Amino acid sequence: MTRTHRKSPRRTLFLALLCTLTLILPPASSAGTAPPQNSSVYGMDILGLGWQWVFPRIEAAPRLSGSIRLDLLDSAIHQAADAGVRWNRLSTWWCFVEPERGQFFWDDLDAVIQIGRNYGIETLPVLLYSPYWAVNNAPSGDCINNPRKNYPPTNIADWENFVRAIVRRYGPAGKNVIHYWEIWNEPDLPEFLSVDNDPGDGTVPAYADLLNTAARVIRAEAPGATILIGGLSDIRGYKFLDKLLQLTGSRDIRNSFDVVSFHAYSNHAYKISLIRDVLQQYGLQNRPLWDTELNYMGWDYTQAAQGLAGLFQIIRANGVVRSFWYPSFTSHWGPSIFYPREPEWEPIPFTPTPFYATFRSQTALPQLPSAPTPLGPKMAGAAAAEPLRFQWEVATPGTYPIVGYKLQVDREAFLGVARFGRPELDAWRSDARASFLPLVSGGRASASRWPTWTMAVSSRPAETDPLRSYTPSVPLPLGLHYWRVAAVDSQGNVGPYSEPRSFFLRGSFLSFVPFAGEATWATNYTNGHE
């Protein structure tokens, strides 16, 4: 017997609502979703351990005060990206970020993370080193000269407050630019973690407290974020991991990390096997392994050119899913993509070494999209009170299709050039269109009398119009602005930016015009783009 079904009012309402959602979905000219994250396995510690102290500033001396050299920062990160680096492991010293209780210094971190994002590089911050005010018997003073910065805070609540502050700034409640967090660095070595009157392995419970506290905050503030155990040294890291995993009760760490990170500079396969054996012992063999400091001590540039591919084969064959070369400049740890920087704070260029081409060849970079052609800010219509609009010609795809564009606007020029280290606008303009189609599953209605639904997403063809545009949803300040745009492919690779152009906004605020739940804005302006 054929059974017919009557459409319930609720089902009819649900269908109508879905149809409405399909009609009001933002077209491709809107900001759309965020750009795709790059899935590359190649990372690097681009700036080194103490970069906030030694990186060149306007005055060439190691210090925190003064403006960091955005030109050199942009050069280092841009060249690293061109070499195939897609992840930056960034030492993030608590004592630099919060030098006095409750007083935060974000400028340097903001710039480094932003410039990395400009070139499609994901940042992995490594949280470590206590400020003097958080540790008993620590002399007051700067971070570098504090002999007790490698001690855990006397009051764990101070660490909890710091982690919460930094996650709120860069996690989903803030800038939403950090998705991975590494907790401390080489906690198995006393130069990075020590405790008073250590009876032997006293740093094990101390680190468990640091990790568990940080994980609790990160899980609450940034659900879905990935947490890494602080990179374990290749000296005694596997022994430290074994003792960590023996802890039970309130110090059990097994739910406080997602990835095991370790360091290797020689005998790489053997040292990976030591870590793997420990994880196997505790039933954690499926936890991903990241080598967050990789190099080969003793190699010169010629040996690196001959052996790099084989080294990465060893790393991958032993189940390591992501590697970070340490550091980006050649040192006693081994060769790297830039020549040595001694002293590091001298404002000298980041100059590629012969290893640069070796590393770049290993990453097998795809062809990137071309640079878009900017056409300049334009009004949406003839009236002076209509919103400002940015417009450009589409880029030519590279190896992968273009899925959107990054458009940036900056008011600051560093040493006369716009560097986009802290842009006022960093917009994503998607080229993807999607429609949502309601589908009914074959099951009966649930106990609540609602039918069971699934949602299917179908992509519409990409736009064929040779022009793209973007209209800010909030007003830009009056005055001189610089802007540029770059295409992004489906793998998260950012193509070259257009040359920065300038325009000038002047006049008074005229009116708000409500539209689609937002407010557009209008101002008199002079279009002075070059």
CA distance 78 to 84: 10
118 in the same domain as 55? yes
Cβ 293 vs Cβ 231: under 8 Å: yes
135 in the same domain as 56? yes
Read off the pLDDT of each residue in 436-462 and give the average, rounded to a whole number. Answer: 36
CA distance 343 to 341: 6
How is the beta sheet containing 180-185 ordered, strand by strand? 226-231, 180-185, 122-128, 87-93, 42-44, 320-325, 289-294, 260-264
Q: Rounded to 5 degrees, what are φ and ψ at 261? A: -110, 145
Q: How far is CA 374 from the centre of its chain?
A: 27
Whether 70 is in a domain gets the answer: yes
Tell me which residue of 127, 139, 143 sits closest to 187, measured CA to CA: 127
Tokens of 279: 């994880």
Q: Choose the final residue of a domain: 305, 332, 363.
A: 363
160 in the same domain as 132? yes
The pTM (predicted TM-score) of the whole model is: 0.85
283 in the same domain as 430? no
149 in the same domain as 25? no
Cβ 234 vs Cβ 262: under 8 Å: yes
470 in the same domain as 396? yes
**Is it the case that residue 444 has pLDDT exceeding 80?**
no
Whether 460 is in a domain gets the answer: yes
**pLDDT reported for residue 474:** 86
Whether 1 is in a domain gets the answer: no
Cβ 372 vs Cβ 304: under 8 Å: no
Beta-sheet pairing, 479-489 with 402-410: antiparallel
CA distances from 309 to 121, 304, 332, 503 (A): 22, 9, 21, 47
182 in the same domain as 152? yes
**Domain ranges, residue 398:** 9-33+368-441+450-526
158 in the same domain as 94? yes
* 343 contacts: CB under 8 Å, gap ≥ 6: 54, 62
Hey, what amino acid is at 152? Answer: P
207 in the same domain as 293? yes
pLDDT tens track for 239-298: 999 999 999 999 999 999 999 999 999 999 999 999 999 999 999 999 999 999 999 999
**Crossing angle of helices 268-281 and 301-317, rounded to 10°:** 20
**pLDDT reported for residue 475:** 87
Average pLDDT of the chain to the nearest whole number: 85
**pLDDT reported for residue 436:** 36
485 in the same domain as 336? no
Confidence of residue 221 (pLDDT cuts 50, 70, 90): very high
CA distance 226 to 122: 13
Cβ 128 vs Cβ 94: under 8 Å: yes
Tokens of 355: 């290893």
For the purposes of burial, counting CB atoms within 10 Å of the CB of 251, is it exposed (0-12), middle (13-18) or buried (19 or more)? middle
Whether 340 is in a domain gets the answer: yes
**171 Rama sector, left if φ>0, alpha if ψ -120 to 50, beta otherwise:** beta
101 in the same domain as 24? no
Confidence of residue 379 (pLDDT cuts 50, 70, 90): low
Alpha carbons within 13 A on the beta-carbon side of 12: 5
**Is it the case that residue 383 has pLDDT exceeding 80?**
no
How many C-beta atoms surround the C-beta of residue 55 within 10 A? 21
Cβ 223 vs Cβ 176: under 8 Å: no
Task: Pick the more confident residue, 443 or 163.
Answer: 163
Confidence of residue 10 (pLDDT cuts 50, 70, 90): very low
**pLDDT reported for residue 33:** 64
Beta-sheet pairing, 226-231 with 180-185: parallel
Read off the pLDDT of each residue in 23-29 and give the average, rounded to a whole number. Answer: 33
**pLDDT reported for residue 135:** 98
Read off the pLDDT of each residue in 218-225 and give the average, rounded to a whole number. Answer: 98
25 in the same domain as 75? no
**Is it the case that residue 394 has pLDDT exceeding 70?**
yes
Tell me which residue of 461, 522, 422, 336 sits closest to 28, measured CA to CA: 461
CA distances from 81 to 84, 246, 326, 383 (A): 5, 40, 15, 43
Hey, what amino acid is at 173? Answer: A
**Is it the case that residue 1 has pLDDT exceeding 60?**
no
Confidence of residue 461 (pLDDT cuts 50, 70, 90): low
Whether 66 is in a domain gets the answer: yes
CATH assignment at residue 517: 2.60.40.10
Beta-sheet pairing, 425-430 with 434-440: unpaired
Whether 4 is in a domain gets the answer: no
3-state secondary structure of 407: strand
**Is it the case that residue 451 has pLDDT exceeding 80?**
no
Return the minimum-mean-pLDDT range out of 333-342, 356-365, 381-390.
381-390
- E strands of 208-329, at which residues? 226-231, 260-264, 289-294, 320-325
**Is it the case that residue 445 has pLDDT exceeding 50?**
no
Tally of domains in the chain: 2
CATH assignment at residue 289: 3.20.20.80
Read off the pLDDT of each residue in 451-475 and give the average, rounded to a whole number. Answer: 65
Q: Choose the final residue of a domain: 335, 363, 391.
A: 363
Read off the pLDDT of each residue in 352-376 and give the average, rounded to a whole number. Answer: 97
**pLDDT reported for residue 360:** 98
% of the chain surpassing 90 pLDDT: 73
Whether 24 is in a domain gets the answer: yes
**pLDDT reported for residue 385:** 52
pLDDT tens track for 503-521: 998 864 333 233 233 333 3
Q: Choose the final residue of a domain: 323, 339, 363.
A: 363
Whether 3 is in a domain gets the answer: no
**pLDDT reported for residue 232:** 98
